[in-house]
Every structure is written in structure tokens, then in C-alpha cells.
Amino acid sequence: MARPKSEDKYNALLAATITVCSELGLEAPTSKIARTAGVAEGTLFTYFKTKDELLNHLYLELKKEMGQVMLFNYPRTLTLHKRMYFVWSKYINWGAHNPDKRKVMGQLSVSDRITAESRAAGRVIFSEAAVLLDECLKNSKIQNSSCAFISAMMLAMADTTIDFIIREPVEAEHYCNAGFDAFWRVLAND
């Protein structure tokens, strides 16, 4: 009879994957991931059949974490501008405080190792944010653009903002506000 899997080992493997992939990229060896987690490499494959399965689990765990942070207490009744700023500032804060997770999430987001099923599950996590972007798009100067384009533009501007916050943390509020103002000017129709 197989032993039950430990949540602590599962979490240690995900944390180690973040640490190692942040340093070496997604091609990092599973032996180093296991060693960093403090387990044997065979243990890694007890929890995840393949490295791709590990990466897909990590992708979804990071999406869930980001979704929880960005949408916790989401103010559905505020103006479009204030709701968008709410989501923006939560993402900025998460990224500035989790540089390794942000870096690995960026790698996972463009990796062909992430399955269509995982990507679809990730979109479900952010469905409320997608509705917000659609609403912004309807009132935008660039109405003929896709939600995916607006989302990518937002992430690019947010990532630039986060990079500056990491370099100059005392200016975090300034950069967060300035980055959002720039994004909103591109998007807004006022």
C-alpha cells in the first residue's frame, strides 16, 4: 500500500522549483530541484509523474496565488478606474514582493510545456479580471483590440513598474501610480 503524499513535501517541491528555475530556467535538472527541496529525486517523481506535470502544477499554484491576491476583496461597486487600479496595485505589490515567483511565472506563461488544460484553468481563476478588462476595452480608445492584447500590454507596463520598484523601493508608491496612469491614458477614452 502506497504511503499518503505529504502536503509539506508537495509544497517544498514547488518552492524548490521556483528557486531553481528562477536561477537556471525551466530546463533546470530535477535532481537539483529535489536536492533543494531536501528530498530524493525519486520522491519528486512520486509526486509528479514528469517534469512537465510538475511545471503545470506550479503554473496553476502561482495563478491561484496571484488570483487570490489580486481579487481578494475586489470592489465590484467602484468606478471602472478604481477597480482597474485595485487589480493593478495588487499585481504590482505581489510582483515586487515575489521576484522569483514573478520570474518563473513569466517563463511558464510562454512555455510550450504548459498544457492547454492548465492554461484554461488559469483563465478561469482570472475570469473576473477578464470581465474587468473587457469592460475597460468597451470604453477604450483602442476598442478594436483584443482582451489578450490589452492584458499583455498591461502586464508589460506592470512588469516595467515592478522592475523600477525593486530597484528603488522607496519610490514604490510613485512608480505604482505613474505606471497605472500611463496604462490608463493608453486605455481610457477620457
Of 64-73, 113-122, 148-157, the range with the lowest mean pLDDT is 148-157
| pLDDT attached to residue 189 | 60
Contact 98, 17 (CB under 8 A): no
The mean pLDDT of 25-43, rounded to a whole number, is 96
Q: Please write the tens of the pLDDT for every residue from 74-94.
A: 999 999 899 999 999 999 999
- The fold for domain 63-187 equals Tetracycline Repressor; domain 2 (1.10.357)
The mean pLDDT of 126-141, rounded to a whole number, is 82
Burial-class residue 159 by CB neighbours within 10 Å (0-12, 13-18, 19+): middle
CATH node for 1-49: 1.10.10.60
Strands (DSSP E) found in 44-162: none
Domain ranges of the chain: 1-49, 63-187
Can you read off the three cell numbers belonging to residue 48?
Answer: 509528479
pLDDT at 1 over 60: no
